A and B are shown apart, each in its own frame.
Chain A
Amino acid sequence: MTSDEKKALQLTAVKVREGILTSTHGAKAGHPGGSLSAADLFTYLYFKEMRIDPKNPRWEDRDRFVLSKGHTAPGLYAALANRGFFSVDALPTLRHIDSFLQGHPNMNTVPGVDMSTGSLGQGLSAAAGMAKGAKFLGKDVNVYSLLGDGELAEGQIWEATMFAAHYKLDNLCIIADINGLQIDGRTCDVMNTEPVDAKFEAFGCHVIKINGHDFDDIAAAFEKFHANKGTGKPTAILMKTTKGKGVSYMEDNAGWHGKAPNDEEYAKGMAELAAARAALEV
């Protein structure tokens, strides 16, 4: 990746973060913390990694993305809007009674959403079904699914991972957002899911550990995913992140899991992001 490409991704990631604040502020609800921790990943997927066509969201041979941690819809929506699936002007209507932007992703109302999710633990199974379907149909389609680290306590995640390894779904890329926090507090205190790497390895995956806010790391991880195709093993990218990343008062604070910024907080956050944007545009 050239430094210009990297800078462009970083700038886009700031816009995605602005979209997360704008939508949750507009909704007076929603989940900014986990959306921000995954903002760089959403950016990389939709602006670099996935074969998609915003003008033809249901293109049969597109790559698929399933947001298993569906509550971070604000992050997904901000990426989709910035990528041109729908207007960024719609973002403040998040969760409104007449909006297509449902609180959790709805594949039938939001262009670009490949699977309705929200109930934790289920998305990865659906992604595995897509990957199995692509293999069965002989299609070169990659399927990506983002999980939360709190979500790893759901038993179905491990049923799905076992299925993916058993059926040699090397076209499936599991990504876990390890921000270390969940609603009730630190993941290690609420329900310790570590060692996550050893678990995914034991379940038959190639495991790649990265810094989820470093685009060089993210790019290298997806290169490895592509290199792993043909090995018959799914890939699991474990990305260490900071919940609330990019908005100082939200960073590493479980209180911002499912709370929207008020007007004052919104202004402060947007000012911080504007400064980040300006620094990149120099």
Chain B
Amino acid sequence: MAEMKKVATRDSYGNALKELGAAAPNLVVLDADLAGATKTGTFQKAYPERHFDCGIAEANMINVAAGLSTMGLVPFAATFAMFAAGRAYEQVRNTIGYPHLNVKIGATHGGISVGEDGASHQCCEDFALMRTIPGMTVMCPADDVEARAMVKAAYEMDGPVYMRFGRAATPVFHEEGFNFQIGKGEVLQDGTDVAIIATGIMVPEAIEAGKTLAEAGISARVINMATIKPLDEELVLKAAKECGKIVTVEEHSVIGGLGEAVCSVLAEKCPVPVKRVGVNDEFGHSGPAAALLKAFGLCADNIVAQTKTLLGK
């Protein structure tokens, strides 16, 4: 995929906020001293009066967002995934989730691909934490086009949303103007032997794996599951019935994320063999993002290998 244009979805987040800001005067943005990194600085340059820096105080920021939302504003709160979902978990749970307030959390720097900063900043638990909050919509875009569409869709829906964006530039494979819908998965390649369900920056890897598997005579259906909650159960069950075996891929712990969400649906409604590709209950470490993703098996080669093993080939 070296020939494809690459954009980090955190850049998409900042650009989408700026674009939306023009037509949405009630949209306000909060950050916790990371506007340069989360890219809300892009919005801040255009609309400084609507960008509230909260300093390094994420718990306060999340509850300030809750208060702002009750005044009829639509706050987007940004910080790294580790601090949005981790540090401020209980603030999100009790003061956004429980009252079901219209707050959007834009969490950047999700997963191992944070890179050199190492384990303290590589959040691989955010899907798990946010999924358990009743009424919370949890999403992770696969590329720049989807990320921008997702931010717009989040603004337009009423209720709390958690979105995870990436630090590293990743391939852009969607066409401009593609129809993004919250709660709907997307079949990127049809297939009948196995279905690979991926989310976030693992989707381009899954597409590549699908092509390699095709060369080996294995027909893999590749699905982009940008919404982790509410999960597109219909699409998961259809894949299980038609393909018989499922591989899930996420830049997240195999505990509590997309893989377990898919397994829960399948266990109750259509049990089929599953292989979860993700971070295997361990912490990350420092290194360049691309090398780390390979080291943790979050790459097309490992998806191919795991799929072949699952199929006994």
Contact = CB atoms under 8 A, between A and B. Distances in A.
Looking at chain B's contact residues, is the secondary structure mostly helix, strand, loop, or mixed? helix
B60 A159 contact: yes
B131 to A, nearest CB: 20
Looking at B63, B70, B71, B75, which has the most chain A CB atoms within 10 Å of its CB? B63
B57 A163 contact: yes
Contact of B68 (A114, A119, A130): A130
A40 B95 CA distance: 27
A115 B70 contact: yes
User: On chain A, which size bracket covers the interface?
Assistant: 35 or more
Contacts of A156: 57, 59-60, 63, 91
A269 B28 CA distance: 50
B100 interface: yes
Given A156-B63, A160-B63, A119 B94 contact: yes
Contacts of A133: 67-68, 70-73
Nearest to B64: A129
A129 B63 contact: yes
Given A116-B95, A136-B28, A156-B59, A128 B73 contact: no
A54 interface: no
Interface string B37-73: 0000000000001101011010110111111111111
A115 B100 contact: no
Interface string A98-135: 00000000111000001111110111011111111110
Interface of B: 28, 49-50, 52, 54-55, 57, 59-60, 62-73, 75, 90-91, 94-95, 98-100
Given A108-B100, A114-B70, A129-B67, 16 more contacts: A106-B98, A115-B67, A115-B99, A116-B98, A126-B66, A129-B64, A131-B67, A133-B68, A136-B71, A156-B57, A156-B60, A159-B57, A159-B59, A160-B60, A160-B64, A167-B52
Interface of A: 60, 64, 66, 106-108, 114-119, 121-123, 125-134, 136-137, 139, 156, 159-160, 162-163, 166-167
20 contacts: A115-B67, A116-B95, A119-B95, A125-B64, A126-B67, A127-B67, A128-B64, A128-B67, A129-B66, A129-B71, A132-B67, A132-B68, A133-B68, A136-B49, A136-B50, A160-B60, A160-B64, A163-B54, A163-B55, A166-B55
